[in-house]
Amino acid sequence: MAQLLDYLSEKYQKDSLDEVNRRLLELSSLFEISQLLNESLDLKRVLNNILFIPMGRMMIARGAIVLNRNGRYQTVMTKGLSEELASYEFETVDFPESYFERADDKKNNAYPELNKYAAEAKLQVGIPFISNNQCLGIMLFGAKLNKADFSTEEKDFLGSLANLAATTIENALKVDEIQQINHQLDNKIQELGTLFDIGKGLSSTLELPEILNLLGFALMGQMFITRYAILLKSENELSPYVNKGFNDSFIDDTAAKLSDMTPPDSIIPADKIKGKVLQRHFDKNDVQVVIPMQHQSQMRGYILLGSKISKKPFEKEDLEFLTTLVSQAVISLENARLFKEALEKQRMEEELNVARNIQRKLLPKTLPEIPGYDIHGVNNSSKQVGGDYFDVIKIDENRYALAIADVSGKGVPASLLMANMQAGLRVLMTPDVDLAQAVGTINTLIHSNTDLDKFITFFIGILDAEKHTFNYVNAGHNNPFVVTRKRDISFLDIGGILLGIMPGYAYKTGLIDLSVGDLVITYTDGVNEAINREGEEWGEEPLYDLVKSQRDRSVKEIDDAILLAIDAFAAGEPQADDVTILSIKRLK
């Protein structure tokens, strides 16, 4: 009995000593781990030590650490898990606050999502990181290689490790958050610098190709892409202006599809764009982002971006940068468009000035004095340059050619065509002139030098001041009219078609005698087609009535009265055509 008591006493002392030694060894290990954890606040290094030290000590092949990042539990480090499980993000925020062991019995499953994850990852136990009564996350371990259960001492060790690591993890998370913020600030500073440099470049040019090149370089350099396209709106249609890397037929097809689409308000990933057909269209051709280009709610075009070289998705920060970049580019494009319009307007103004000079030089500076006749001509120019023309050409001592014409169209082309006609007319007005043949020759000349959409209304009459006859041809012009002393009106409407329509056309001539007091008024359609603010035309009847009431006055006074009446009718409304009048009256 005494021997048994001695044996039990000796064994108890030995077991107590072993327990003390084990505890000391565990404390020593935890102290060393604590020192190791406190050596660095680099989150990855801290988590690496937390995960791999117990795995090596307990011969565990699989493990994972899950942390609360921005309110969501995310798997941040793993060993021996698949790629899908290594990036798993939990929907629930309900994690255990003490030792966790996977429950294969669904009825006793307090944490279903964590339990499901542990089952799929073949993880057996978990120990949460608790700091300030909050769960920072959990470390999970698979079964030991020797298939033995986790002992109480091992569970205690893991619990102590979790307690030691919690504060370090919390500090490391704060440091990591600060580093991320600093990284974001660095990126923002870099982006601002890039935007500033790009902005300087864009503001220094008004050339469309150069703006598009700068935009393309910025897209490729900042987003690290190799494929992009820029489509701009031109004459209510989208047209490809730049295509780097995409198939041309795809871009043409895309331009047509986007033209029919209601434009989005902001940059969107291609897979979020409205319409499954368009989504498949973009997905098939690797379009990742669609950027609408808008200026003051007006659609100016689109930018299409392909995948990044890294194949990483476009982040929120990328889209914010692109929004600012494209906004700057759109302003530059709009400035370039307005500058081009200003240059075009200036060019048109210069063209109009040239046309006005040509037109003025076509008109006679002075009219010849015709014995026994009062003659006057006037051209009242509108803001636009028309093709009105009148002339009085002395043929011989007794005969004078009176001509008036109006060329279709405006500007320099109309003035040049009129100059062409005037040159031919002056050559043909010889003493032996046949009026019908002369008009036919001019008609053929005009036809050979113009397109079908260009023509001239033309009236010419030859006054014989000795015989007091007026031989004329009306080639599609407003009918001149004769007002007698009795205020009777007749029209000079014999002739033929407009000049320049049909070559070889045979014109007819008309002949009238002019009695003392007879007044002949010729005019262009700027007279009868003068409009007021309601868009109403003055018409012929008010012209006839006015001339009849004024016929006893000089032809200059009559012409001035016509101009005053037109101005009163228009009441300040700008006129689109010139007003030209050529009048003659037999005095004796």
Please report, for the domain that includes residue 501, its CATH number.
Answer: 3.60.40.10
Q: What is the CATH number of the domain that holds 165?
A: 3.30.450.40
Amino acid at 16: S
Output the pLDDT for position 196: 63
199 found inside a domain: no
* Residue range 277-316, pLDDT digits in tens: 788 888 888 888 888 888 777 888 888 898 988 888 888 8
* Whether residue 403 is found in the same domain as residue 534: yes
Six-digit token string for 558: 């009559």
Q: pTM of whole model > 0.75?
A: no
Please state the domain count of the chain.
3
Q: Is residue 458 in a domain?
A: yes
Residue 381 burial (10 A CB sphere; 0-12, 13-18, 19+)? middle
CB 166 within 8 A of CB 130: yes
Which amino acid makes up residue 134?
Q
Q: What is the DSSP letter of 398?
A: S
Stretches in the chain below the pLDDT threshold 70: 1-41, 105-108, 184, 186-206, 355, 358, 382-386, 410-412, 452
Residues 305 and 377 in one domain: no
Q: What does the alpha-carbon distance between residue 116 and residue 225 come to, in Å, rounded to a whole number?
A: 40
Domain final residue pick, 274, 307, 339: 339
Q: Is the domain of 494 the same as that of 579?
A: yes
Check residue 151 and report its DSSP letter: P
Domain boundary among 306, 339, 372: 339
| Same-domain status, 135 and 232 | no
User: Which residues are paired to 137 by β-bridges?
Assistant: 67, 129
Q: What is the enclosing helix (H) or strand (E) of 507? A: none
Same domain? For 483 and 558 the reply is yes
Burial grade of 541 (CB within 10 A; 0-12, 13-18, 19 or more) = exposed
- Confidence at residue 21, expressed as pLDDT on a 0 to 100 scale: 47
Q: Is 334 exposed, middle or buried (0-12, 13-18, 19+ CB in 10 A)?
A: middle
For residue 12, being part of any structural domain is answered with no
β-pairing, 519-523 with 481-483? antiparallel
Residue span of the structural domain in which 229 resides = 205-339
Residues 284 and 368 in one domain: no
Is residue 356 situated within a structural domain? no
Query: Is the same domain home to 499 and 443?
Result: yes
Q: How far apart are CA 442 and CA 504, in angstroms?
A: 10
- Round to whole Å and give the CA distance between 478 and 299: 47
Q: What distance in Å separates the CA atoms of residue 133 and residue 543, rounded to the nearest whole number?
A: 101
> In 422-508, where do the E strands start and end?
456-464, 469-475, 481-483, 489-491, 495-496
Sheet of 298-305, strands arranged across: 237-244, 228-234, 298-305, 289-295, 268-269
CB atoms within 10 A of CB 37: 23
Of 339, 354, 378, at which residue does a domain stop?
Answer: 339
458 and 321: one domain? no
Within this chain, do residues 164 and 220 fall inside the same structural domain, yes or no?
no
Instruction: Tell whether 317 and 403 lie within a shared domain.
Output: no
CA distances from 518 to 297, 486, 548 (A): 64, 9, 11
Taken as a whole, the chain contains a residue count of 588
Residue tagged 């056309």 (tokens): 505
Is the residue at 83 inside a domain? yes
**In 3D, which of 429, 423, 445 has the Cα closest to residue 396?**
429
Residue 536 DSSP SS3: coil
Contacts of residue 588, defined as CB under 8 A and 6 or more positions apart, other chains included, come to 372, 516
Same domain flag for 387 and 451: yes
Nearest by Cα to 547 from 529, 532, 533, 527: 527
Give a yes or no: residue 540 inside a domain: yes
- Helix, strand, or coil (residue 528): helix
CA 294 to chain centre: 6
pLDDT in tens, 178-237: 777 777 676 666 666 665 666 666 666 667 788 888 888 888 877 888 899 888 887 778
* Dihedral sign, Cα of residue 27, residue 28, residue 34, residue 37: negative
Distance between CA atoms of residues 149 and 137, nearest Å = 23
371 and 511 both lie in a single domain: yes
Question: How far is the C-alpha of 281 from the C-alpha of 263, rounded, in Å?
Answer: 17
Please give the structure tokens belonging to residue 209: 């190709």
Number of H helices, E strands in the chain: 14, 21
CB contact at 8 A, 428 and 445: no
Question: How far apart (Å, rounded) are the C-alpha atoms in residues 407 and 403?
Answer: 13
Give the torsion through C-alpha atoms of 334, 337, 338, 342, to 10 deg: 170
- Measure Cα distances from 403 to 46, 394, 407, 473 in Å: 102, 12, 13, 10
Residue 441, judged by CB atoms within 10 A of its CB (0-12, 13-18, 19+), counts as middle
Burial class (CB in 10 A: 0-12, 13-18, 19+), 216: middle
187 located within any domain? no
Q: Residue 352: inside a domain, yes or no?
A: no
